[in-house]
Structure 1
Amino acid sequence: MPIQKVTRDEILQKSLSVFKRQGYHRTTMDDLARACGLLKGSFYHYFNSKETLMKEVLWWVTRTSEQRIFSVAYQAELPPEERLALFLDRLYTAVSVSEGGCIMGNTVLETALLTDEFKEPMQAFFAGLINAVAHIYQTTHPAVQALTLAQQLAAELEGSLLLVKLGSPESLLQDCRKRALNRLNASTHDCTPNP
């Protein structure tokens, strides 16, 4: 049987959905091939292992996020509040497109203590997210504080996503969004963490 025509991007997108839904360890090459409409043997024509595919999925998500989400932070023609709101809206849309939440957060929880295989793309993703948010916060806060606020937002976002996956109301994400926007305009003194 000839190899079916499918693009690498199509495989990455479909595999992303499977990994988000099932997790890395519970996903088999059969699951991935089936999701892509390929026979398992044909699937190996594109990717020689599940590890290779997962790493490429994570890099693809990182690159796509840089282009479609993180880049908003650097659009100087937009006011900072609009940039942050658009950034968060696009991020929320990206993680809610298919069931499973945030592939990066999920994969960190599932694999970080077991393997270093996926750390580089995950670190690049979170660095891109934090740097983009810090860039926006620097419009109203000193650089060090902007970075701290951006790290807090990343942690709060991932925590909210985890709780929503467990059944908490999705309003947690909107509350997180409101706090992020409020912090943008809060005075430096208002945002200083308590010792």
Structure 2
Amino acid sequence: MPRIKTSKEEVLQKVINTVRKKGIANSSMSDLANDCGIQKSHFYYYFESKERLIKDVLATVNSYMNYNLNKILDNEALSTKEKLSKVDGLIFKLFLKNDGGCVMANAALESAHANPLYFDEIKLFFENFIAGIKQLLMEEYGPKNAQEIAEQIVQDIEGGILLMRVYNDQKYLQNAIKRMYNLILV
């Protein structure tokens, strides 16, 4: 297979998909290079180690989610229902459109006992996700209840993603999203 030049961002996008499907431990640098259609040495041009690559993958996913979530939530022209619909679309794009579920949840489960190296980025992802959902709940529930309900919604969505993968059935995530609508649009 001919090897092509590619940017760091293109490599990260390809690696995200592979890590989402195979996990961190099952994705060797050789496998990742092959999946990206580049030489293994090309990875080391951008990333000093697999750990650095995975940290950058998680930071990229976090940045993408945070940017897009805030773009929706900060749009004052949208009603809460319209914002919720756009958040639903973002969840669909991140978790249903791509095979493998949630990169952050997968990384958290995989590295929980073995390697806490990635926990800061994983925690930041979930903190931002919860904060975004909380923002949609604040007007109706107040800060304390909004925080608890936002945590519940994110837990429900992540559980829905897990069950969707286990049973190969989107209904689990779709049901979690319906429950999110019911809690936010009281």
User: How high is the TM-score relative to the length of structure 1?
Assistant: 0.89
Q: What are the residue-to-residue correspondences of 1:1-195 with 2, within 5 Å? A: 4-167=4-167, 169-186=169-186
Is residue 69–residue 132 contact of structure 2 (8 Å, CA) maintained in 1? no
In structure 2, the partner of 1:189 is: none
Deviation, structure 1 residue 37 = 1.5
- Kindly provide the CA deviation profile for residues 10-50 of structure 1, in whole angstroms up to 9, marking residues without a partner as x: 01100011111111011100011112211112321111211
Q: Determine the C-alpha separation between the residues in 2 that align with 1:101 and 1:128.
A: 18
How has the CA–CA distance of structure 1 residues 184 and 42 changed in structure 2, closer, same or farther, with 3 Å as cutoff? Answer: closer
Structure 1 position 138, deviation (Å): 0.6
List, as ranges, runs of 4+ consecutive aligned residues in structure 1 with deviation greater than 2 Å. Answer: none
Superposed CA RMSD in Å reads 1.5
Unpaired segments ≥5 residues, structure 1: 187-195
CA drift at 1:181: 1.2
**Structure 2 counterpart of 1:147, which letter?**
Q
1:172, distance to aligned residue in structure 2 (A): 1.9
Partners in 1 of 2:71 and 2:117 — Cα distance? 27
Output the CA distance in 1 between the equivalents of 2:185 and 2:167.
31
In structure 2, stretches of 5+ residues that fail to align are: none
The answer as to whether partners of 1:20 and 1:102 remain within 8 angstroms in 2 is: yes
- The CA distance in 1 between the partners of 2:15 and 2:165, in whole Å, is 20
AA aligned opposite 2:153: L
Q: State the match for 1:192 in structure 2.
A: none
Which one has the bigger helix percentage?
2
Q: Is the 8 A contact 1:70 1:128 kept in 2?
A: no
**Deviations 1:123-177 (Å, cap 9, x if unpaired)?**
1111110000000101211111111110001100010100010115312222211
Which residue does the alignment assign to 1:191?
Answer: none
* Deviation of 1:80 (Å): 0.8
**Identity among equivalent pairs (%):** 28
More displaced 10-residue stretch of structure 1: 143-152 or 169-178? 169-178
Confirm or deny: 8 A CA contact 1:19 1:27 kept in the other structure.
yes
CA contact (8 A) 1:18 1:27 kept: yes
TM-score, scaled relative to structure 2: 0.93
